[in-house]
Amino acid sequence: MKLQLSIGQASQPGRRERNEDALGWCLPDGEQLAGKGALFALADGVSGCADGKLAASSSVRAVCADYYATPETWAVAAALDRLLGAHNRWLRSQGRSLVAALSVLVLRGRRFTIAHVGDCRVYRLGRDGLGCLTQDHVWEEPSLRHVLKRALGLDAHLVADFCDGDLAVGEVYALLCDGVWNALGDLRIDEILRLHTDPQRAAAVLVEAALAAGSQDNVSALVLRVDALPAANLDDAFSRGEALLPPPLLKPGQQFEGLTVEDKLHASPSGLAYRVSDSAGRRWVLKTLPPPLAGDREAAQALLAEEWLQRRVSSPYFAEVAPQAVRSHLYYLLRWYDGETLAARAAAGPLGVADVVLTGLALCRALAVLHRLGIVHRDVKPDNIHLGRDGQLRLLDLGVAWCAGISGEALGPVGTPSFMAPQLFDGAAADAGSDLYALGVTLYWLLSGRYPYGEIEAFQRPHFGTPQPVSRYRPEVPPWLEALLAKAVDPDPARRFETAEEFRLALERGDSQPLSARRQVPWAERLSLRLWRRLALVSLLLNLLLVYLLLLG
């Protein structure tokens, strides 16, 4: 089942010389409808400005075109916010006053999202009756009720309203300009939408009724009815995938769906991984669920979501996914790369400072790719970082990654405790900042084999004080790198790096300095505070003993 809609629209100049309203919609098919949804937009150009028609029509065209160029992994509101901000800057760059009110409605999966600025309105007619889902951005003073205080092209910084909610079959949505809703009022709009169930007829009647009621403005209406909803929040492929069962336990040498099983790589209660090869001799990693999870809808969705995310990350810093094919079992394939994880490499001996810096730069680029797509990895650690024999570093395992729109709330704690940011233990949501904290801990561990706050077990309630300087374990670490790591793992999120790009830039600037050996730290400076306290206590006891002996003498 897919999203099915009935749509109607009507627009007339009314008593004006020309129509400065613009409306449009995009109802794609197939994967694009599932991934991005259907979009509806209504704009009302401000006639007192240079060219209201251009402002309105360009706004609708920009939204309809640019929204579908944004990554599927972005939340709808985030995508609309970015493209509206960009179009607002374009309107202001034209050197003349181009201003328009705009309301955008996106239906994606089983939810709707609205972006709104100005005095167009979005109404919903559902089981609870008619309701207006937007707020007019006009001045409260009665004489200024038709003067916009927020609109596209009005201010250098656009502030739009956003709201979202669940869809229901049979609901009717109406996008109306002020020439319609101001002339009719909510009661008359409710009456027309209930009486005329065909959206095209309803839109035409709304426009005609507004003109008959004496509207002096352009009149436009865009009406749609929800006829059917998809069964899943992403697409029908999720629904089909959930119905598949994991393969039985596979053994080396066994043939499975045109693949030859070579080895079992990983086995846990939540997942299985095999190394397999195809008929062309190419090696792959087959990821699936263990047989006891057959029929577990939540586990199946998690694996399908992992595959969905993996396919949308196109970068050399991530493993290639095999082309999607018809499958009779629940699994997916990732390219196999010869090499080892950084955890395995570090087990053979500590990494050099220069190697750790290069690793940090590569990981910053990898995380920047994810974060630009709105994906939070949530389990950055040496075990999930692979260095191939081709010299390429790759970030592995999106099994617990979070992405707006397909994942639930990004609440902690999720991940490996020793690499988790302090705020996650307080129930905060994982975000790009918590990934960057884990990156800082990873680099610290690669240099020292230790954690800045000690190893944290899953059952612990950790205490985050002052981290040990990494130079205590590696005296040759340069001061700039030590300061950088201290910033990366600071307990206060406000004092850490905000973006992967900022982290990378700090590494690049530091890396431009020669990685000369750190000055020889005096023995007394390397001693811990606890040891100094013990020495002071011993000294005090010896002095007391001497005083006592002198008194006896």
For residues 389 and 536, give the distance between their C-alpha atoms in angstroms, rounded to a whole number.
53
Residue closest to 466 by CA, chosen among 508, 504, 495 = 495
Round to the nearest angstrom and report the end-to-end CA distance of the chain.
100
310 near 321, Cβ under 8 Å? yes
pLDDT band at 524 (very low <50, low <70, confident <90, very high): low
For residues 59 and 100, give the distance between their C-alpha atoms in angstroms, rounded to a whole number.
8
Q: Which residue has the higher pLDDT, 239 or 471?
A: 471
For residues 103 and 318, give the distance between their C-alpha atoms in angstroms, rounded to a whole number.
38
The pLDDT of residue 232 = 54
For residues 467 and 470, give the distance between their C-alpha atoms in angstroms, rounded to a whole number.
9
- Asked if residue 183 has pLDDT above 50, the reply is yes
Hey, how many other C-beta atoms are within 10 angstroms of the C-beta on 336? 19
Residue closest to 488 by CA, chosen among 446, 452, 447, 526 = 452
The pLDDT of residue 146 = 73
Q: Global pTM?
A: 0.77
For residues 121 and 54, give the distance between their C-alpha atoms in angstroms, rounded to a whole number.
20
pLDDT tens digit string along 435-469? 999 999 999 999 999 999 988 887 777 788 888 89
Residue range 525-531: mean pLDDT, rounded = 56
Q: What are phi and psi of 253, to 5 degrees?
A: 90, -15
pLDDT tens digit string along 83-119? 999 999 999 998 778 999 999 999 998 999 999 999 9
- Asked if residue 515 has pLDDT above 50, the reply is no
22 near 59, Cβ under 8 Å? yes
The pLDDT of residue 527 = 52
Residue closest to 27 by CA, chosen among 163, 209, 178, 199 = 199
Q: What percent of the chain has pLDDT over 90?
A: 70
